[in-house]
Amino acid sequence: MAKIQAIRGMNDVLPTQTPAWQYLERVMRDLLAAYAYQEIRFPIVEQTQLFKRSIGEVTDIVEKEMYTFEDRNGESLSLRPEGTACCVRAAEQHGLLYNQTQKLWYMGPMYRHERPQKGRYRQFYQMGVEAFGMSGIDIEAELLMLSRDLWQQLGIDDVLTLEINNLGNSEDRKRYGETLKEYLLQHRDVLDEDSQRRLEKNVLRILDSKNPQTREILKQAPQLPDHICADSAAGFQQLLEILAQAGIAYQVNTSLVRGLDYYNGVVFEWTTDKLGAQSAVCSGGRYDGLSRQLGGSDTPGVGFALGMERMVLLLEELEKLPAGISRTVDLYICVIGDGVQQQALILAAEIRRRLPTLRVLTHCGGGKYNSQLKKAYASSAQCALILEGEEAQREVKLRVLDDNGDTSTVAAQSVFDSLSRLFDIELFD
């Protein structure tokens, strides 16, 4: 019978890897809490329409990467390819955007049917931050400071660079799109195939093209900054000043337009050269029209999302994972001889009750002294508690699990005191 294996591009995160994930998640949660952002959770499956209307019909994500299927009642559903649209939908549906502002975050798996590659999987995890109801650039500044703080706490700020651009308000964007299209139509035949297709529905994306011939044409094209209204331009300048003041280095990149249709205003991307082709680690921007586009209120929004496996990859690559996060055991209890198991389990429970922060692993499944001690060392516990034979009722041994292996015999009743002292933690009654 053929073995069943995981679906292409979908990964199992094994026990050796989960500590890195948990560490990353912990740092992120704590930082988000420090900024007073609240967590929101929403489903993995949504109506296909949600993504078509928000991300855009002619984007790659919607056209060829969504996991779309029919529900039993014939409704078209899709696995979420990103979180922003879901977040807006959920916030709108529950009245979170009615006359109020929201600072939210979420974390979870997203799905895109792409060709798997390093740092790019079909099920991948994103942490996203979205702020609703605020139209000034102060919120953009806060989001960028938040992300920079995160890089600093993780120790990876020196390998990330911030690219930023202003798309202007919705009218600016629209007007520029028309001007650009007009210009490009004159050179239609010289454009690459993709760009020709984008002429119709997604003109700005052509600015992103890497095709040399197309790039040549773009040199003479109308420039985006020239089509941005004074207000928007002034706001952008103000944001750049705040960034400078906050000590955040940035690079204005006027061809940065982002692949999702809903963006306008400020867009940005944190990139690195340490992950091969998958250079974007975190990106986002403003999407003021999105909520209305989905049939909701006219609520401004800004946000960003970051790729968690890319973060984990970076942390591993740069060896920025703190030592000790992989240790899951403090005390290993060896159980030697018949009739000791019961005592060991009861004692372990009592230790956990009175020394709640201690992580206690009771050896199960038998085995000789040698092999149990070997496992105790391999477990990375700092200390072994050895219960041997009948005398374990009266006294037990405590062995420090280092190269010296100093062992002391203690009375069964004073085990708790000894452990409390040894690990320097408070003992409860």
Partner RNA sequence: GUGGCCGUAGCUCAGCUGGUAGAGCCCCUGACUGUGACUCAGGUUGUCGUGGGUUCGAGCCCCAUCGGCCACCCCA
398 lies in the site for RNA, by CB under 7 A: no
148 lies in the site for RNA, by CB under 7 A: no
Q: Where are the alpha helices (DSSP H) in 61-187?
A: 84-93, 138-154, 170-185
Q: In what order do the strands lie in the sheet with 407-411?
A: 360-362, 331-336, 383-388, 395-400, 407-411
Binding mask 172-211 for RNA (x = CB under 7 A): ----------------------x----------x--xxx-
Dist CA 233 CA 400 (whole Å): 65
65 lies in the site for RNA, by CB under 7 A: yes
Chain positions 100 to 129 lying near RNA, rule: CB under 7 A, are 112, 114-121, 124, 126
Parallel, antiparallel or unpaired: strands 45-47 and 331-336: unpaired
- Please, which residues have CB within 8 angstroms of residue 203's CB and are 6 or more apart in sequence? 177, 180, 181, 184
Residue with Cβ nearer RNA (169 or 214): 214
Dist CA 112 CA 120 (whole Å): 9
> 118: closest CA among 320, 312, 310?
310
Q: How near is the Cβ of 396 to RNA at its closest, in Å? A: 11
Residue with Cβ nearer RNA (43 or 276): 276
Dist CA 215 CA 219 (whole Å): 6
Which range binds RNA by CB under 7 A, 41-49, 99-107, 220-228, 272-280? 272-280
Which range binds RNA by CB under 7 A, 2-10, 13-21, 169-177, 219-227? 2-10
3 lies in the site for RNA, by CB under 7 A: yes
Residue with Cβ nearer RNA (23 or 332): 332
User: How many residues bind to RNA according to rule CB under 7 A?
Assistant: 64
Contact present, 139 and 72 (Cβ < 8 Å): no
Parallel, antiparallel or unpaired: strands 123-132 and 301-307: antiparallel
Token pair listed for 80: 């979420």
Among 279, 341, 343, 382, binds RNA (CB under 7 A): 279
Residues forming the site for RNA (CB under 7 A): 1-3, 5-10, 59-61, 64-65, 82, 112, 114-121, 124, 126, 194, 205, 208-210, 258-260, 269, 276-283, 305-307, 309-310, 367-371, 373-375, 377-378, 386, 388, 397, 403-405
